[in-house]
Amino acid sequence: MKKTTLIIMAGLLITTSKTIAVTPPVEDFKYSVDKFADIEILHYRVPDFEKLSLKQKEMIYYLTEAALAGRDILFDQNNKYNLTIRKTLEAVYLNYKGDKESAEFAQLTTFMKRVWMGNGIHHHYSEDKFIPDFSAAYFSKTVKSIDPKKLPLGKGETVDQLVAKLTPILFDSSIFPKRTNQAEGVDLILSSANNYYEGVTQAEVEAFYAKMKNPNDNTPISYGLNSKLVKENGVLVEKTYKVGGMYGKTIEQIIVWLEKAASVAENNKQRDVILTLIDFYKTGNLKTYDDYCIKWVKDLDSQIDFVNGFTETYGDPLGMKASWESIVNFKNIEATKRTEIISSNAQWFEDNSPVDKKFKKETVKGVSAKVITVAILAGDCYPATPIGINLPNANWIRRDHGSKSVTIENITEAYDQASLGNGFAEEFMWSDVERKRAKEYASMTNNLHTDLHECLGHGSGKLLPGVDPDALKAYGSTIEEARADLFGLYYMGDPKMLELTLLPSNEAYKAEYYQFIMNGLMTQLTRIQPGKNIEEAHMRNRQLIAGWVYEKGKADKVIEFTKRDGETFIVINDYQKLRRLFGELLAEIQRIRSTGDFEGGKQLVEMYAVKVNQTLHAEVLERYKKLNLAPYRGFVNPVYTLVKNAKGEVTDVTILYTENYVNQHLRYGKDYSFGF
């Protein structure tokens, strides 16, 4: 998963029988739709939706419904009380009869928006719990003033009990302070606020799964992926997410829509993918899940594609349990030509990387890559979303069957369009040389770096036989992201890029290098609260890389911190040497990953990736504040409507971009909450 980019596509005009459907052109589109706390909410366009066939549009419609149906699962996974809190806030927002113009009501509204953004009471990125600005007394007063029937009361629960239950969770900063704790030296399970485990210690979890794992199994299932581990009567029990199990009612709804999608699938292969997923949802059998992943990774001909399920494990400090997410998308055929060039040269990239030969793959299998247009974001991909995805995650499936890698270009378009002329480059880049390069090449190189990261980086290299894929434990995600980023960075400066026509000049890569280093050493600190360290894996990875190459190139002044009028800037003096340093670090990171060198990984991460230079941080925050920009962005989805004729036949699917952030979440809360 990674960052920002840009491509401009013309709004296309397609005439259907009655209506004229047009994707609004970039210049007429209102990207930014809401702003609160540290968040800006954007709309994204879905270019070429109108070019799809009726059957394809219908399939997308059903898959978007399946995506939205799972929404509550993620709230519950993030914290046991999230759903009750969300529903309580929404009930007050909608039904409170007192003063809705007061400062406190505005604070309650902002808090509710933050809960939507975080899919719970923790910040989506820092994972710290946020505390309301309104008082506990105001919370109590407003909740008690509304009709109890509107509140999410438990069986036999009174309103007073509900308020008493939620008040400490909302207002006491020492309760559930961190959603996923990665900090050294404490029990990572007990100190994490998420809901993947209950009443168990880290040691118990590790012992439980160590007993299940067979080190000689070459094709292991993803242990623990789709379950919660709890202690019942002193015994550890896995509660599986499936029909008839945990989240059963919600999963049934997902299946209803998946079945409809299967009925209009583009081809048999795709239908089989969906039916296998349904089978997995019904049984919770992780072997079936692997079958599904293998079928999914081999479905390359369909234009429509989707992710729907328990997928990424960032939310579990031990990296086993997966959060629920969904996106629905279709291939951007024109832009995909670029990634096809990369994929078809995958073996060349593997063979020529600066990594030790014994850590390389002899044969790189099935690296498939495409550029996609998303139609909906849901679960852990909403409101904040990745701009590139590489799945499946199981190492052996990637080894034996390959992986699918995508770049989400209509999202990067929204980021870039919303950023044009916001003053960021003027404030932080050293000179017009860097700014000019950025203007000319940054969108292109950003896209390309994402492609290389996803199509080649994650798929490159191999583990030595017998190495536990989880050997790096809490450091695994950071090391893995660094590996993928470095693979891309190293090759961006390679003459091969020009030869393959992926870049238009041998200056272009410098735009990405400058931006990456500036971001990793300085500007990403805009996302960190004063006094805090860096926690999130992608951010750690960027500071690790930038900090390491700065340090190692110090004697040669490859990169310098320079002052002008008391402000700090990054200057890069030698781009080719910088490239060689990227190569050296890539070789070391691959060695750590391939050999499962926990101590080596820990040392690199703790030394370069975690700690923040407080003086520089304060300066960056001060300068950033003047720009009045939101450091984080989320999205609202377009609204799809199925159009039917008098006979009940589907005649069209329309798409609207007019729903705002508040209305979307209130509607989702009303229409897509099925209970568990």
Site pattern 97..136 for Zn ion (x: CB under 5 A) = ----------------------------------------
Token representation of residue 661? 């952030």
Cβ-proximal residue to Zn ion, closest one: 484
Helix spans in 70-174 (H): 71-78, 82-95, 103-118, 136-145, 159-171
Task: State which residue, 56 or 478, has the beta carbon closest to Zn ion.
Answer: 478
Report the nearest approach of Zn ion to the CB of residue 324 (Å): 19
Contact window for Zn ion (CB under 5 A) among 98-106, 209-217, 241-249, 473-481: 473-481
* Sign, CA torsion 39/43/45/50: positive
Q: Look at residue 487 and give its three-state secondary structure.
A: helix
Task: State which residue, 459 or 553, has the beta carbon closest to Zn ion.
Answer: 459
Contact window for Zn ion (CB under 5 A) among 53-61, 411-419, 476-484, 514-522: 476-484
Task: State which residue, 72 or 512, has the beta carbon closest to Zn ion.
Answer: 512
Token representation of residue 660? 């705002």
Report the nearest approach of Zn ion to the CB of residue 541 (Å): 8
Contact window for Zn ion (CB under 5 A) among 6-14, 89-97, 343-351, 474-482: 474-482
Q: Look at residue 38 and give its three-state secondary structure.
A: coil
Task: State which residue, 291 or 470, has the beta carbon closest to Zn ion.
Answer: 470
Task: State which residue, 481 or 536, has the beta carbon closest to Zn ion.
Answer: 481
Verify binding: residue 320, Zn ion, rule CB under 5 A: no
Report the nearest approach of Zn ion to the CB of residue 350 (Å): 17
Q: How far apart are the first and last CA of the chain?
A: 30
Rounded to whole angstroms, the Cα distance separating 649 from 643 reads: 8
Task: State which residue, 484 or 559, has the beta carbon closest to Zn ion.
Answer: 484
Q: How far is CA 191 from the centre of its chain?
A: 23
Task: State which residue, 248 or 469, has the beta carbon closest to Zn ion.
Answer: 469
The number of residues that bind Zn ion (CB under 5 A) is 2
Report the nearest approach of Zn ion to the CB of residue 355 (Å): 17
Do residues 222 and 470 lie in contact, with contact meaning Cβ atoms separated by under 8 Å?
A: no
Task: State which residue, 381 or 484, has the beta carbon closest to Zn ion.
Answer: 484
Contact window for Zn ion (CB under 5 A) among 49-57, 81-89, 235-243, 481-489: 481-489
Specify the pairing of strand 32-36 against strand 39-43. antiparallel
Residue-by-residue DSSP string for 195-208? SSEES--HHHHHHH
Q: Look at residue 564 and give its three-state secondary structure.
A: strand
Do residues 194 and 279 lie in contact, with contact meaning Cβ atoms separated by under 8 Å?
A: no
Contact window for Zn ion (CB under 5 A) among 97-105, 302-310, 365-373, 482-490: 482-490
Report the nearest approach of Zn ion to the CB of residue 631 (Å): 20
In angstroms and rounded to an integer, the radius of gyration of the C-alpha atoms of the chain is 25
Contact window for Zn ion (CB under 5 A) among 146-154, 312-320, 483-491, 583-591: 483-491
Helix (H) or strand (E) holding 33: strand 32-36
Work out which of 484, 492, 549, 610 binds Zn ion, going by CB under 5 A.
484
- Scored b (16 or more CB within 10 A) or e, 154-180 reads eeeeebeebbeebeebbeeeeebebbb
Report the nearest approach of Zn ion to the CB of residue 199 (Å): 33
Place of tokens 């479905």: 299
Beta bridge partners of 325: 309, 379
Report the nearest approach of Zn ion to the CB of residue 458 (Å): 6
Report the nearest approach of Zn ion to the CB of residue 5 (Å): 15
Phi, psi for residue 369 in degrees, rounded to 5: -145, 145
Contact window for Zn ion (CB under 5 A) among 64-72, 170-178, 484-492, 637-645: 484-492
Task: State which residue, 79 or 329, has the beta carbon closest to Zn ion.
Answer: 329
Footprint of Zn ion on 511-530 (CB under 5 A): none
Do residues 322 and 363 lie in contact, with contact meaning Cβ atoms separated by under 8 Å?
A: no
Q: Quick one: residue 304, left, alpha or beta (phi over 0 = left, psi -120 to 50 = alpha)?
A: beta
**Cα dihedral: 507, 511, 516, 522 (round 10):** 120
Report the nearest approach of Zn ion to the CB of residue 484 (Å): 5
Task: State which residue, 379 or 457, has the beta carbon closest to Zn ion.
Answer: 457
Token representation of residue 659? 């729903």
Report the nearest approach of Zn ion to the CB of residue 376 (Å): 22
Specify the pairing of strand 227-232 against strand 197-198. parallel
Contact window for Zn ion (CB under 5 A) among 111-119, 435-443, 475-483, 524-532: 475-483
Report the nearest approach of Zn ion to the CB of residue 453 (Å): 6
Give the start-end residues of each E strand in 173-303.
197-198, 227-232, 235-240
Query: Of 190, 404, 171, whose CA–CA distance to 307 is shortest?
Result: 404
Task: State which residue, 123 or 538, has the beta carbon closest to Zn ion.
Answer: 538
Specify the pairing of strand 632-636 against strand 235-240. unpaired
Report the nearest approach of Zn ion to the CB of residue 479 (Å): 11
Task: State which residue, 59 or 484, has the beta carbon closest to Zn ion.
Answer: 484
Under the rule (CB under 5 A), what is the footprint of Zn ion?
481, 484
